[in-house]
Chain A
């Protein structure tokens, strides 16, 4: 590492996040590998290091003898200032080498508001931000993650996107790159060849034309690129690569624990939830494999907490068997099992006791909407009775705090629905005072968190207008006024941040210039409330002559060509349309295990879906 950098590090916050060298980080000789991959997370170290996808791909790439994967994070403001002042280019943590030395630079796009950070990181690395200005094969700039399902706003900057599960397509991409590098092939021919790999989308090979009203006329594939790009699907989760070691950070990060993914996909079909659709179909891993792999992981990392990760833990079909398997070694090893998003209503009480024997976690309900009608619209099947019953048993068990999550601005939402949020929270408070043996000398605390609904691609609400900033401010005001007790604590999200997220989520490639302009206006870390500048973004939209409302607040018709229509995530448009119509009637769709709703996701998985085969 540069001596100059070391001397500067003591002047910044959390210097440990800029030096690498953590247990589990992989060192190789750069001359003995054919490929160098810089895995970039466009946010700070403590957020990026918590990301499971990065841990998987880091270990996977490093399992190849011919490749070395290193980590790169966005430096915080103070560090960026120091780097720019002293002309230190953005470097990878393992080798300390600048990004420009790498073959492939890979970004993971976890949320839309990280886009300016991607530009800023490329710039800090001294690289041109536009894909067309990077003419040689290296460094190739690639991206993946959930936002790749509509990454059109980033099309000007990224050479290729990886859609869907990364484990297989990443290896095929590396093989192809190695071949091109060895034969001295050029970037254009590489990109065309790469577009033939299932799951790879090369935006420069698609021409988009527009109608006069601004909507899309057509998207045309050029050269030999496929007309429709399928997302990549890993069908056998049982045998797919899973890391036996993590990089264990020195500094505290957001999720500092061992994590194991127990299944992919979700059976619930909540209509607002993008993850619930784009990760389909449901594919489960066996309890034995999970147990064996996570034990190895705990032994290698020394973590004292194991988190089971999925979109909805209690929908894992063999949960009881899995927990018994895990508890047989986690108890003697004094490891705590964290089971996020667990529905505890019909769960084995004894097992639950054992789970919390080491540490008690909080009680959280994602009710999402304040009335049963609206919960039916969004297909969130949790009832008021369930919430109250579970709260009561939690209070009886000595807990005094409950968290409730809601969304404002959902389709068909009325003032009654907003007031319903306050009423539901009040009922939870009342529940506490109704129990005879309530904890003595303690008050109850109900935290209500109200975020703003953002319509996302590949959901039944993809055609819906997003509530405007003014509407959301009104709704927040109404909600705040409806709460009459201090026992309920309300926290709301900033409407202007949600508005921008909505624009980017359903945007097209004309937004590239706005992102660039906003970045030039000083925008980065847009998902951080203290960094976000609504003014700088507004100016950027004006400078580019682009209307944000066109993307966010307009109702799209079913026959409009959407910017992501040439990407196939398996979910049929006709299914989404059917769900959208049912939503308007407040009609629910049963979860996949009760009855298959025919979403079409199994078509990319050889006709298999674990939600259908089981039970």
Chain B
């Protein structure tokens, strides 16, 4: 029994698939292969799968990470080939390897925000440098549902722009993980609500730990 770390992309219309739906789809995908998967031993035996960091509904991802558990002899490359043979359009395994980092070590994530070509770059830059972008968020306090106001730019993000022929790219690193997490969709909605500018697509590029890309 050992864990295999799977790097995969989730692109295009698959961004409308929620995290729970993706989890179910991945378990079924595993069952469609003959990969010798390890089953949990409770009342409802199911394959073991753990995602590094849920992707919010609406964002696509170039490099997401999932750990599965296998039994018996199977090479990482074979896991990748078998999965890719049955994965639906939009989901592709890009790499399989032995896990090194723990998911709890994730501290940040890189995103690409795609804006229309005529988006106001100077304004966006000003907002990102201001360190303030408030949004209302449903949360819990002492077990009760409350609406909290949070500052999405509390930790000043690293960012850069690339102007391309067809669009304007914003490359953004946001805090991520269990301690501090900024949801890029909330950020996009706050930009729309307060500055009437919104990216038409958000893509997560990679997950980061304090010492680099999650391995």
Complex interface: stretch among A37-45, A188-196, A297-305, A493-501: A297-305
- Residues from chain A with Cβ under 8 Å of B43 in the complex: 359
- Residues from chain A with Cβ under 8 Å of B88 in the complex: 21-23
- Return the contact of A304 from the options B17, B25, B31 (Cβ within 8 A): B31
The answer to whether A15 and B57 touch across the interface, beta carbons within 8 angstroms, is yes
Complex CA distance for A300 and B33, rounded to whole angstroms: 9
- Residues from chain A with Cβ under 8 Å of B57 in the complex: 10, 15
Complex CA distance for A250 and B23, rounded to whole angstroms: 9
The answer to whether A16 and B18 touch across the interface, beta carbons within 8 angstroms, is yes
Complex CA distance for A354 and B48, rounded to whole angstroms: 24
The answer to whether A19 and B46 touch across the interface, beta carbons within 8 angstroms, is no
- Residues from chain A with Cβ under 8 Å of B89 in the complex: 21
- Residues from chain A with Cβ under 8 Å of B29 in the complex: 23, 302
The answer to whether B13 and A334 touch across the interface, beta carbons within 8 angstroms, is no
Considering the complex, give the chain A residue whose CB is closest to the CB of B28: A302
- Return the contact of A300 from the options B13, B16, B17, B32 (Cβ within 8 A): B32
Smallest Cβ distance from B186 to chain A, in angstroms? 12
- Residues from chain B with Cβ under 8 Å of A9 in the complex: 16
With most chain A CB atoms within 10 A of its CB, the pick from B16, B22, B24, B44 is B16
Smallest Cβ distance from B68 to chain A, in angstroms? 14
- Residues from chain A with Cβ under 8 Å of B165 in the complex: none
- Residues from chain B with Cβ under 8 Å of A301 in the complex: 28, 32
| Those of B43-88 within 8 Å (CB) of chain A | 43-46, 57-58, 86, 88
- Residues from chain A with Cβ under 8 Å of B182 in the complex: none
Smallest Cβ distance from A426 to chain B, in angstroms? 32
A1 within 8 A of B: yes
Considering the complex, give the chain B residue whose CB is closest to the CB of A12: B16
B90 within 8 A of A: yes
- Residues from chain B with Cβ under 8 Å of A1 in the complex: 13
| Those of A10-34 within 8 Å (CB) of chain B | 10, 15-16, 18-23
| Those of B6-27 within 8 Å (CB) of chain A | 12-14, 16-18, 21-22, 24-25, 27
The answer to whether A16 and B28 touch across the interface, beta carbons within 8 angstroms, is no
A248 within 8 A of B: yes
Smallest Cβ distance from B208 to chain A, in angstroms? 26
Tally chain A residues at the interface, Cβ within 8 Å: 28
B30 within 8 A of A: yes
Smallest Cβ distance from B61 to chain A, in angstroms? 15
The answer to whether B25 and A6 touch across the interface, beta carbons within 8 angstroms, is no
The answer to whether A23 and B39 touch across the interface, beta carbons within 8 angstroms, is no
Smallest Cβ distance from A486 to chain B, in angstroms? 27
> For the complex, would chain A's binding face be called helix, strand, loop or mixed by DSSP majority?
loop
With most chain B CB atoms within 10 A of its CB, the pick from A251, A299, A333 is A251
The answer to whether B200 and A358 touch across the interface, beta carbons within 8 angstroms, is no
Smallest Cβ distance from A368 to chain B, in angstroms? 33
- Residues from chain A with Cβ under 8 Å of B27 in the complex: 302
A182 within 8 A of B: no
A7 within 8 A of B: yes
- Residues from chain A with Cβ under 8 Å of B18 in the complex: 16, 251
Tally chain B residues at the interface, Cβ within 8 Å: 29
- Return the contact of A334 from the options B39, B58, B90, B185 (Cβ within 8 A): B39
Complex CA distance for A301 and B30, rounded to whole angstroms: 10
- Residues from chain B with Cβ under 8 Å of A302 in the complex: 27-32
Smallest Cβ distance from B24 to chain A, in angstroms? 8
- Return the contact of B16 from the options A16, A333, A359 (Cβ within 8 A): A16
**Known contacts A10-B58, A15-B16, A16-B17: does B45 contact A303 (CB below 8 Å)?**
no
- Residues from chain A with Cβ under 8 Å of B46 in the complex: 304, 334
**Known contacts A304-B46, A334-B39, A359-B44: does B90 contact A21 (CB below 8 Å)?**
yes
| Those of A361-387 within 8 Å (CB) of chain B | none
Complex CA distance for A100 and B43, rounded to whole angstroms: 49
The answer to whether A358 and B44 touch across the interface, beta carbons within 8 angstroms, is yes
| Those of B151-202 within 8 Å (CB) of chain A | 185, 200
The answer to whether B21 and A23 touch across the interface, beta carbons within 8 angstroms, is no
- Return the contact of B25 from the options A15, A18, A23, A333 (Cβ within 8 A): A23
- Residues from chain B with Cβ under 8 Å of A22 in the complex: 88
- Residues from chain B with Cβ under 8 Å of A6 in the complex: 13
- Residues from chain B with Cβ under 8 Å of A21 in the complex: 12-14, 88-90
- Residues from chain A with Cβ under 8 Å of B86 in the complex: 23
With most chain A CB atoms within 10 A of its CB, the pick from B28, B30, B46 is B28
- Residues from chain B with Cβ under 8 Å of A18 in the complex: 16
Considering the complex, give the chain B residue whose CB is closest to the CB of A333: B31
- Residues from chain B with Cβ under 8 Å of A358 in the complex: 44-45
Complex CA distance for A592 and B21, rounded to whole angstroms: 45
- Residues from chain A with Cβ under 8 Å of B30 in the complex: 302
| Those of A358-417 within 8 Å (CB) of chain B | 358-359
- Residues from chain A with Cβ under 8 Å of B14 in the complex: 21
Complex CA distance for A6 and B31, rounded to whole angstroms: 30
Smallest Cβ distance from B29 to chain A, in angstroms? 6
Considering the complex, give the chain A residue whose CB is closest to the CB of B58: A10
Complex CA distance for A19 and B90, rounded to whole angstroms: 12
Smallest Cβ distance from A590 to chain B, in angstroms? 41
Complex CA distance for A251 and B89, rounded to whole angstroms: 16
- Residues from chain A with Cβ under 8 Å of B24 in the complex: 250, 252
- Residues from chain B with Cβ under 8 Å of A303 in the complex: 28, 31
Considering the complex, give the chain B residue whose CB is closest to the CB of A6: B13
Considering the complex, give the chain A residue whose CB is closest to the CB of B91: A23
The answer to whether B32 and A16 touch across the interface, beta carbons within 8 angstroms, is no
Smallest Cβ distance from B110 to chain A, in angstroms? 22
Smallest Cβ distance from A3 to chain B, in angstroms? 8
- Residues from chain A with Cβ under 8 Å of B44 in the complex: 358-359
Smallest Cβ distance from A110 to chain B, in angstroms? 25
Complex CA distance for A18 and B32, rounded to whole angstroms: 25
Smallest Cβ distance from A304 to chain B, in angstroms? 7
Smallest Cβ distance from B39 to chain A, in angstroms? 6
The answer to whether A250 and B32 touch across the interface, beta carbons within 8 angstroms, is no
Smallest Cβ distance from A1 to chain B, in angstroms? 6
- Return the contact of B28 from the options A3, A23, A359 (Cβ within 8 A): A23
Considering the complex, give the chain A residue whose CB is closest to the CB of B14: A21
Complex CA distance for A358 and B200, rounded to whole angstroms: 45
Complex CA distance for A334 and B46, rounded to whole angstroms: 8
- Residues from chain B with Cβ under 8 Å of A16 in the complex: 16-18, 21
Complex CA distance for A22 and B22, rounded to whole angstroms: 11
Complex CA distance for A7 and B114, rounded to whole angstroms: 13
Convert B88-108 into 0s and 1s, putting 1 for each residue whose CB lies closer than 8 angstroms to a CB of A.
Answer: 111000000000000000000
| 16 A-B pairs with C-beta separation under 8 A | A1-B13, A15-B57, A16-B21, A19-B13, A21-B88, A21-B90, A23-B28, A23-B32, A250-B22, A251-B18, A300-B32, A303-B28, A304-B28, A304-B31, A333-B31, A334-B39
7 closest residue pairs by CB, A with B: A302-B28, A302-B31, A302-B32, A15-B16, A23-B88, A19-B13, A250-B21
Known: A15-B57, A251-B21, A334-B39. 5 other contacts (CB 8 A): A7-B200, A16-B21, A19-B13, A21-B13, A301-B32
